[in-house]
């Protein structure tokens, strides 16, 4: 199992974008955990974050965590705003 394809756009990012449709896999390429069910183009947490922490993609804050996020979680409108 090599894990799901994903792209970290910037070295400082705390989320990565998934680039395949293997939603049943539970790991990322490189070995980190990945929650099942995250679709192509959606984001996975690269590290755990606490409520209020900025979510970084493209090296900038694209939002803040609205609840605690665990590494491997799907990051989207339910936990980031």
Partner 1 sequence: MSTTAAKTSDMNISGYRRADGRLGLRNHLLVLSTLALTNRVAALAAEAVPDCVLVAGDMQRGLRGRDAKLQDHVVRALLHHPNTGGAVVFVHDTAARKRLQEWTKTCKRPIEVLAFMEGRGVAETVRRGNEAVIRVHTALKAQVRTPGHLGELTVALECGGSDATSAVCANPVIGSFVDMVVAAGGRAIVSETAEFIGAEQVVAQRAASPEAASEILEAIRRRERMMEEDGEDYRGVNPTQENIEAGLTTLIEKSMGAVAKCGESPLMGRLDFAQEPPGPGLWFMDTPFFSPVSITGMVCAGAQLTLFGIGVFNPSAVPLAPTLKICGNPVTVRDWPDAVDVDVSMLVEGRGSLEEAVQTLIKKVAEVCAGATTWAERWGEGQIIVPREAESI
Chain contacts with partner 1 (rule: CB under 8 A): 5, 7-11, 17, 19-20, 29, 39-43, 55, 57-63, 75-77, 80-81
What DSSP designation does 52 have?
T
- 26 or 76, CB closer to partner 1? 76
Question: Cβ closer to partner 1: 43 or 49?
Answer: 43
Residue 33 CB, nearest distance to partner 1 (Å)?
19
Q: For residue 26, what are the CA distances in angstroms to 10, 32, 47, 66, 72?
A: 23, 9, 15, 24, 8
Report in angstroms how near the CB of residue 53 gets to partner 1 at its nearest. Answer: 14
CA distance 14 to 3: 18
């Amino acid at each position: 199992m090599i894990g799901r394809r994903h792209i970290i756009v910037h070295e400082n990012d705390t989320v990565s974008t998934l680039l395949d449709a293997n939603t049943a896999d539970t790991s990322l390429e490189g070995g980190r955990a990945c929650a099942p069910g995250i679709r192509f183009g959606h984001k996975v947490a690269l590290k755990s974050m606490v409520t209020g922490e900025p979510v970084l993609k493209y090296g900038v804050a694209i939002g803040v965590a609205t609840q605690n996020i665990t590494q491997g979680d799907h990051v989207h409108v339910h936990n980031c705003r």
